[in-house]
């Protein structure tokens, strides 16, 4: 997949535009060959807000096509206007208009990537409540991108299974279920779901690592069920799925107690792959995200596995409480850009 990387604007009432502007200013190596898919006016406001008193804002250059991104001079922010300009956005407030802007930018970028016009998508944070208010029937980026991919491929959404991977320098985790209630997440721990997660993880990380990944699998229940004393999902669902995956050549092990498996997988001393596992399969959202985020939100990256395109994102939300103050840290977005370069073609 050739071409530039598109950075979507995110929710314009949140820190998305701000961290995008900061990334261009602070990490020229990571933003080289990228452009913002969004709104020129919003990015100019964000750049101006970051300027020190008496100093000019970092210039925002409107480009007329994806191809122009390759010709943009250094020390400026290239923006392709891909949506109708927003109106009435109030920083730090949820609104349908902000949700429209964020959602439409992602739709544009997804379709451009599926057509092969861009190499990857890096998505700035959107607000799920605002997205819903704008009429998008998806709880987040992952489901929206899955629906766009399915439509492009002429398949049902169920026939384009995707998984969320959260990663930093020390730990990777892939989730069996994503944005559902805890009750629904427990119900989603089925043989097919666990096996599909193992397959998707194996394919993606084999490409990324250049070898077969070592996969550790977390149990659902405390102590991984303790032989059935605390639940039967491990022996009835998870173990059979692991056995089926191993029969396909997937290097999967477990299920292990959820309170220790992440420590076993953690890279030691900053040395990649020095942990016992390259990745941990978590049974539900918070089980997998809490350990990664505890290690440092500023370095975490969200990757959607299973799509016919590359998509990464910072591992944090819109941070309405600090939006517009200049305090937001762009480190996670920068890491997402670097990972998108590494994963192109996955």
The reported pLDDT for the residue numbered 61 is 96
The reported pLDDT for the residue numbered 74 is 87
Q: Which residue has the tokens 């994806």?
A: 66
Same domain, 11 and 149: yes
Integer Cα distance of 327 and 282 in angstroms: 32
Same domain, 154 and 183: no
Residue 91 lies in a domain: yes
Nearest to 257 by CA among 300, 299, 289, 227: 227
Same domain, 154 and 228: no
Same domain, 5 and 108: yes
CB 97 within 8 A of CB 83: no
Task: Grade residue 316 by pLDDT with cuts at 50, 70 and 90.
Answer: confident
Residue 301 lies in a domain: no
The reported pLDDT for the residue numbered 297 is 67
Better-scored residue on pLDDT, 3 or 122:
122
DSSP 62-100: EESSGGGGGGPPSSSEEEEE-SPPP-S--TT---HHHHH
Integer Cα distance of 188 and 33 in angstroms: 40
Same domain, 270 and 327: no
Same domain, 200 and 332: no
Write the pLDDT tens digit of every residue in 11-21: 999 999 999 99
Same domain, 290 and 338: no
Tokens of 345: 């073609």
Same domain, 130 and 189: no
Same domain, 185 and 262: yes
Residue 319 lies in a domain: yes
Better-scored residue on pLDDT, 179 or 64:
64
CB 5 within 8 A of CB 122: yes
3-state secondary structure of 320: coil
Name the residue range of residue 138's domain.
Answer: 1-161+307-346
Same domain, 331 and 222: no
Task: Grade residue 271 by pLDDT with cuts at 50, 70 and 90.
Answer: confident
Same domain, 288 and 318: no
Contacts for 50-56: CB closer than 8 Å, 24+ residues apart: 50/18, 50/21, 50/22, 50/25, 50/326
Instruction: Supply the mean pLDDT for the chain.
Output: 93
Report the sign of the C-alpha dihedral through residues 304, 136, 185, 191, in that order.
Answer: negative
pLDDT at 296 over 80: no
CATH code of residue 52 = 3.40.718.10
Write the pLDDT tens digit of every residue in 154-212: 999 999 999 999 998 899 999 999 888 889 999 999 999 999 999 999 999 998 889 99
Same domain, 317 and 289: no
Residue 235 lies in a domain: yes
Tokens of 187: 């119900």
Residue 181 lies in a domain: yes
Tokens of 20: 């995008």
The reported pLDDT for the residue numbered 345 is 46
pLDDT at 289 over 50: yes
E-assigned strands of the chain? Answer: 5-8, 34-38, 60-63, 77-81, 120-123, 163-167, 172-175, 215-218, 252-256, 279-282, 301-305, 311-314
The reported pLDDT for the residue numbered 226 is 78
Number of domains within the chain: 2
CB 302 within 8 A of CB 165: yes
Residue 52 lies in a domain: yes
pTM to 2 decimal places: 0.88
pLDDT at 281 over 80: yes
pLDDT at 139 over 80: yes
Residue 300 lies in a domain: no
């Amino acid at each position: 997949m050739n071409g530039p990387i598109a950075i979507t604007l995110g929710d314009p009432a949140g820190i998305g535009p701000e961290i995008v502007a900061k990334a261009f200013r602070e990490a020229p190596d990571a933003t080289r060959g990228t452009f913002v898919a969004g709104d020129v006016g919003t990015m100019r406001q964000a750049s101006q807000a970051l300027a020190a008193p008496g100093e000019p804002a970092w210039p925002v250059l409107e480009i007329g096509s994806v191809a122009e991104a390759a010709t943009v001079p250094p020390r400026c922010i290239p923006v392709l206007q891909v949506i109708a300009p927003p109106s009435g956005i109030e920083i730090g407030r949820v609104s349908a208009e902000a949700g429209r802007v964020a959602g439409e930018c992602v739709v544009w970028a997804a379709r451009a990537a599926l057509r092969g016009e861009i190499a990857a998508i890096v998505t700035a944070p959107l607000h799920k409540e605002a997205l819903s208010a704008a009429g998008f029937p998806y709880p987040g980026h992952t489901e929206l991108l899955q629906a766009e991919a399915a439509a492009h491929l002429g398949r049902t959404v169920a026939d384009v299974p995707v998984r969320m991977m959260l990663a930093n320098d020390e730990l990777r985790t892939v989730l069996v279920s994503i944005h559902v209630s805890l009750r629904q997440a427990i119900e989603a721990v089925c043989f097919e779901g666990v096996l599909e997660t193992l397959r998707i993880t194996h394919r993606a990380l084999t490409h990324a690592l250049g070898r077969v990944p070592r996969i550790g699998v977390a149990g659902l229940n405390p102590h991984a069920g303790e032989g059935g004393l605390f639940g039967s999902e491990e022996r009835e669902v998870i173990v059979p799925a692991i056995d089926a995956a191993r029969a396909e050549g997937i290097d999967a092990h477990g299920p292990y107690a959820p309170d220790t498996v992440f420590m076993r997988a953690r890279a030691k001393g900053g040395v990649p792959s020095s942990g016992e596992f390259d990745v941990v399969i978590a049974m539900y959202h918070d089980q997998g995200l809490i350990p990664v985020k505890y290690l440092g939100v500023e370095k975490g990256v969200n990757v959607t596995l299973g799509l016919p395109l590359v998509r990464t994102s910072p591992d944090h939300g819109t941070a309405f409480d600090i939006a517009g103050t200049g305090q937001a840290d762009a480190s996670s977005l920068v890491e997402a850009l670097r990972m998108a370069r590494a994963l192109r073609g996955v």
